[in-house]
Amino acid sequence: MINLIGLSREEIARVLETSDAIDIPARHLKMRANQLWHWIYVQGARDFECMTTIAKGLRQQLAEFCCLERPEIVTEQISQDGTRKWLLRLASSVPGQTGPEIETVYIPEETRGTLCISSQIGCTLTCSFCHTGTQRLVRNLTPGEIAAQVLVAKDTLGEWPNSNPQPGQIVPSQSRMITNIVLMGMGEPLYIFDNVKQAVDTISDDAGLSISRRRITLSTSGVVPMIKRCGEEIGVMLAISLHAVRDEVRDLLVPINKKYSLRDLLDACRAYPGLANSKRITFEYVMLKGINDSLADARELVRLLKGIPAKINLIPFNPWPGTAYECSDWQTIEEFAEVVYRAGYASPVRTPRGRDIMAACGQLKSASIKLPVNQRKAQEKAAATLP
Ligand code: SAH
Ligand code: SF4
């Protein structure tokens, strides 16, 4: 079975062309791929049966060879503030095994609805204040698994032409429930550049999900060599997990800083393709008590960012079990924010959302673990002998 979700139109056409079971003349391949695209991404089709513009015989052939499988929702938690967190189970790469799990979060506000999606299961980086950083990398997500998080959210929120919003659902005043996407879930998106690029192509496609690249924000811990390509080839809004204004402190909080220093990072930001006052970079700064929250830090932050079209997002630290860090006092955050505000940055503090369900920034983690190589090999071998 080939899952069509996440494939480009060209890849879909190739699947149709190369499958012996599917009988489509060469001259119709492109048209059929476009039709399928429309059903998958505009209508939200979950099977071929409902595709009424495709003849019944062909629908049956498609169903024999292809599928439109999404990750399965294991649990849905709804916060007091309306934030939703889904634990999603992906298909396993080993037949018969339970697949790994990721988390996806939906944050409804009055004027917009933001979906926070994951790019990896776990993370190879070990930022000391981040819950995801305590989970070893299990594997990267495929383009389909990244894009499918949007489909699952739309399925559940009832945001397809023929579905209705769930009762009690907070619906943003826009006509859409998902207006923005942030790649701020589990993982470092610039470590799986090609998959993220293909997923963003799918999500932003005008004749499909149609979420504009200007409403998609990719957050990186600072993978400097990929930043330019991110602007040129993915063309999304950029967010940088800055969190400190001195290398000694940033080395401890965001260890990738030892490889790419603050200076390298900010130079890459200055050169970000398309950067303008109307297309600013967001700098995220987590407020950690006694670590990075002095007024001297605030002034240095403003000084460092001078000349870069920027937004500053102060994120109150979200605690998680076992962390030694504490969130800065509210008064400290306000004083810090005041320095930032006076330097011309509007509304710098990000209100934590979904903390009660561990859905806030940096709280995501799934129980999936990566087995040691010998155990994985043994499992794969056992699976290969299954009938
Ligand atoms: N790996 C990417 C994408 C994750 S984005 C990155 O690091 O940018 C998640 C954001 O939440 C990042 O800015 C991250 O630094 C921040 N974060 C991580 N742990 C946090 C916590 N416990 N409290 C608040 N923010 C946190
Ligand atoms: Fe990974 Fe981002 Fe967490 Fe750092 S903050 S460990 S890069 S998910």
- What residues pair up with 311 in beta bridges, in sequence order? 282
**Integer Cα distance of 348 and 314 in angstroms:** 6
Which of 67, 95, 110 corresponds to the end of one domain?
67
Per DSSP, the residues of 50-96 read T-TTS-HHHHHHHHHHEE-PPPEEEEEEE-TTS-EEEEEEPPPSSTT
User: Model confidence over 259-306: pLDDT tens digits?
Assistant: 999 999 999 999 999 999 989 999 999 999 999 999 999 999 999 999
Which of 67, 84, 117 corresponds to the end of one domain?
67
Residue 177 shares a structural domain with residue 233: yes
Ligand 1 atom with the shortest distance to the CA of 317: 23
Whether ligand 2 lies within 6 angstroms of the CB of 333 is answered as no
Domains identified in the chain, total number: 2
Q: Is 60 exceeded by the pLDDT of residue 382?
A: no
- % pLDDT > 70, the chain: 91
Average pLDDT value for residue range 370-381: 54
Instruction: Work out the mean pLDDT of the chain and round it to a whole number.
Output: 90
User: Model confidence over 98-117: pLDDT tens digits?
Assistant: 999 999 999 999 899 999 99
Does 188 qualify as catalytic in the annotation? no
In Å, how far are 86, 174, 348, 379 from 112, measured between CA atoms? 19, 7, 18, 45
| Other beta carbons within 10 Å of 5 | 20
Q: Is 80 exceeded by the pLDDT of residue 347?
A: no
Domain of 46 in residue numbering reads as 2-67
Q: Is 80 exceeded by the pLDDT of residue 316?
A: yes
**Integer Cα distance of 80 and 356 in angstroms:** 8
Residue 33 shares a structural domain with residue 77: no
Question: What's residue 346's pLDDT?
Answer: 83
Whether ligand 2 lies within 6 angstroms of the CB of 188 is answered as yes
User: Model confidence over 116-128: pLDDT tens digits?
Assistant: 999 999 999 999 9
Residue 45 shares a structural domain with residue 98: no
Whether ligand 2 lies within 6 angstroms of the CB of 133 is answered as yes
Does 361 qualify as catalytic in the annotation? yes
Residue 199 shares a structural domain with residue 82: yes
Residue 53 shares a structural domain with residue 94: no
Question: What's residue 371's pLDDT?
Answer: 55
User: Model confidence over 84-94: pLDDT tens digits?
Assistant: 999 999 998 78
User: Maximum distance among all alpha carbons in the chain?
Assistant: 70
Residue 45 shares a structural domain with residue 81: no
Q: Whose CA is nearest to atom 6 of ligand 2?
A: 133
d(CA 272, ligand 1 centre) in Å: 21
Model confidence band, residue 258 (pLDDT cutoffs 50, 70, 90):
very high
- Residue ranges around ligand 1 (CB below 6 Å): 127, 129-131, 184, 187-188, 219-221, 241, 284, 286, 315, 317-318, 361-362
Whether ligand 2 lies within 6 angstroms of the CB of 220 is answered as no
Whether ligand 2 lies within 6 angstroms of the CB of 123 is answered as yes
Q: Is 70 exceeded by the pLDDT of residue 179?
A: yes
Residue 55 shares a structural domain with residue 82: no
Mapped onto helix, strand or coil, the DSSP state of residue 105 is strand
d(CA 275, ligand 1 centre) in Å: 23
Average pLDDT value for residue range 177-188: 94
Mapped onto helix, strand or coil, the DSSP state of residue 238 is strand
User: Model confidence over 144-171: pLDDT tens digits?
Assistant: 999 999 999 999 999 998 776 655 555 5
The pTM of the whole model exceeds 0.85: yes
Residue 113 shares a structural domain with residue 128: yes
Question: What's residue 379's pLDDT?
Answer: 47
Residue 297 shares a structural domain with residue 340: yes
Q: Is 90 exceeded by the pLDDT of residue 368?
A: no
Q: Whose CA is nearest to atom 4 of ligand 1?
A: 184
Whether ligand 2 lies within 6 angstroms of the CB of 218 is answered as no
Which of 67, 85, 105 corresponds to the end of one domain?
67
CATH of residue 222's domain is 3.20.20.70
CATH of residue 22's domain is 1.10.150.530
Q: Whose CA is nearest to atom 9 of ligand 1?
A: 184
Tokens 């609805």, located at residue: 113
d(CA 219, ligand 2 centre) in Å: 10
- At residue 89, φ and ψ (nearest 5 deg) are -100, 125
- What residues pair up with 115 in beta bridges, in sequence order? 106, 181
Instruction: Out of 66, 101, 103, 327, pick the active-site residue.
Output: 103
Q: Is 50 exceeded by the pLDDT of residue 385?
A: no
Residue 236 shares a structural domain with residue 162: yes
Region of poorest pLDDT, from 111-115, 199-203, 351-355: 351-355
34 exposed, middle or buried (CB, 10 Å; 0-12, 13-18, 19+)? middle
Residue 137 shares a structural domain with residue 266: yes
Tell which one of 130, 181, 291, 325 to mutate to probe ligand 1, the residue whose CB is within 8 A of the most ligand atoms.
Answer: 130
Residue 272: which residues within 8 A CB-CB, separation 6 or more? 227, 228, 230, 231, 238, 281
- What residues pair up with 120 in beta bridges, in sequence order? 140
27 exposed, middle or buried (CB, 10 Å; 0-12, 13-18, 19+)? exposed
Question: What's residue 386's pLDDT?
Answer: 41
Residue 40 shares a structural domain with residue 172: no
Residue 308: which residues within 8 A CB-CB, separation 6 or more? 266, 269, 270, 275, 281
User: Model confidence over 40-76: pLDDT tens digits?
Assistant: 999 999 999 999 999 999 999 999 999 999 999 999 9
- % pLDDT > 90, the chain: 75
Tokens 């890849």, located at residue: 11
